[in-house]
Structure 1
Amino acid sequence: MEPGKETYEVMELCLLAGKIMLQNGAETYRVEDTMERIAGYYNIGRPHSYVTPTGIIFSLDGVVPAKLIRIANRNTDLHKVTAANSISRKITNGELTSKEAYKQLQELEKQDLSYPFVIQLLAASISSGCFVIMFMGGWHDFLPALLCGGLGFTCFVYIHKLVEVKFFAEFLAAFVIGLAAFSLKAWGAGHEADKIIIGSVMPLVPGLLITNAVRDLMSGHLVSGLSKGADAFLTASAIGTGIAVVFSIF
């Protein structure tokens, strides 16, 4: 195999692994570490990577020009992150060739490993009810919170499919949750609307994004940390604005 072709394949392998991990919620330092470990195993120049939430720049010392890959869509699927990390470990252990690993990563990228919508809805609903109890609410508000949380999550998922602007979907989901909470209280089904709202919006809160933002800032990845922090702030603003509009109505 020609050195140039081998180098190109290694770079494509590193970029694909980094892309899968970054798209599915991995921290910046983990993405960079995985890419550098893969490149280091093949010993083709010293690897350099620059990772932000919207793109990856990767190069090898004095071999070929740097390559850029754009990250357009991001979600949370830690199963894919674990699978990509597992493939990278198999590469560094000599269990997979570059072509075999690249093929497995391509298959992994196409797979949808997320849970079915029904299970996601059930988890969001139950967690909403549990958060009410956690925030010192009464058991009489468990079922109303379960209903409001499930309704808000469903609203978020389907509106986000229709409108790609995440802020708008989160705003409407929070608005629906607030509206449902006050309606249930007015009908006598709920007792403390504030506790129901707090518990119901928790599935929408960007917990992983906030955690990764803090982790990246602590690691010195200032651009990624601030970007993820800004993204989390927009989500929090959308949720707060949606609830504030309901409060202004009632």
Structure 2
Amino acid sequence: MKDANLIIDTVLLAGKIMIENGADMARVDDTLQRIARNAGIKSPRIFETTTGIMMSIQDSENSQVESINKRRIDLERISRVNDASRAFQAQKLTLQQMYDRLVILDESTPDFRPVLKIIAAAIIGGTLEVVYGGCWSDMFLTMVIAALGYASYMVLNRFFRTEFASEFIAAVVVGICGVSAVKVYWGMNMGMIITGGIMPLVPGVLLTNAVRDLLAGHILSGASRMIEGLITACALGMGIALVLRFS
């Protein structure tokens, strides 16, 4: 097939972007299958995991593997891949044009500025502290602690290859700030302050996708995401427990 390599490159790049940015495997598989079929492949053979994608074409020697080395949550990139896939299905884009658009998306799509992420973390932490039964008077303090914890996590991610270490230290920062604030009478309910401060770090999307993958039959991806989410939760819990133990 003349465009076999281009088809495989396009499918693998689309899958790589989606998995790296937090898409569940059912959505990834559906999107990649649609791209391949709309490109003229009747029976595409695609296998996706959280660490790699493999694709081959029936009755052809063409096959490739794409590794996944990083993961985060960016639903905008997933949405843009879906938009490109739908445009290709509607024949508004050629295969080459779609591949070029995916390359640009993978290399140059801007991320949210760090200050916006920290502000969002502060809002999440403060509002959830109240929702979970905390005091309104502790809301602003919890916002500050949540912002400090998330800022620590972002800075430490630059130095650690695994996120678990940065999440553990960020949890320690949140715990120390929460305990210290109550001891100097800036806050009232230490438990709710720490709970709100830690919430921006909780892997909610990861665990949700793990359950969705398991229910959709993607056992390998679901299990690996579940284990990753549980390790993250343990890192956060151990960080808080360490502070409480020695406070």
CA RMSD in angstroms comes to 1.0
Query: CA shift at 1:62, angstroms?
Result: 1.2
Q: Which residue of 1 aligns with 2:159?
A: 162
1:104 corresponds to 2:105: no
> Paired residues, what number?
247
CA contact (8 A) 1:80 1:113 kept: no
Q: Which residue of 1 aligns with 2:127?
A: 130
Q: Deviations over 1:163-222 (max 9, x none)?
A: 122111000000000000011111110111110000111000011101100000000000
Query: CA shift at 1:114, angstroms?
Result: 2.3
Q: Runs (4+) of structure 1 moved beyond 4 Å?
A: none
CA contact (8 A) 2:8 2:63 kept: no
Which segments of 5 or more consecutive residues in structure 1 lack a partner in the other structure?
A: none
Q: 1:205 aligns with which of 202, 207, 210?
A: 202
Distance 2:117 2:218 in 1: 32
Q: 1:139 aligns with which of 136, 139, 164?
A: 136
CA contact (8 A) 2:5 2:62 kept: no
| TM-score of the aligned structures, taking structure 1 as reference length | 0.96
1:71 corresponds to 2:68: yes
1:185-204 superposed matches below 5 A: 185-204=182-201
Q: Which residue of 1 aligns with 2:246?
A: 249
Q: Which residue of 2 aligns with 1:58?
A: 55
Distance 2:12 2:162 in 1: 27
Sequence identity, in percent? 35
Q: Deviations over 1:121-174 (max 9, x none)?
A: 111011111011011001111111111100000000000111122111000000
Q: Which residue of 1 aligns with 2:214?
A: 217
| TM-score of the aligned structures, taking structure 2 as reference length | 0.98
Which segments of 5 or more consecutive residues in structure 2 lack a partner in the other structure?
A: none
1:172 corresponds to 2:169: yes
Q: 1:94 aligns with which of 91, 96, 99?
A: 91
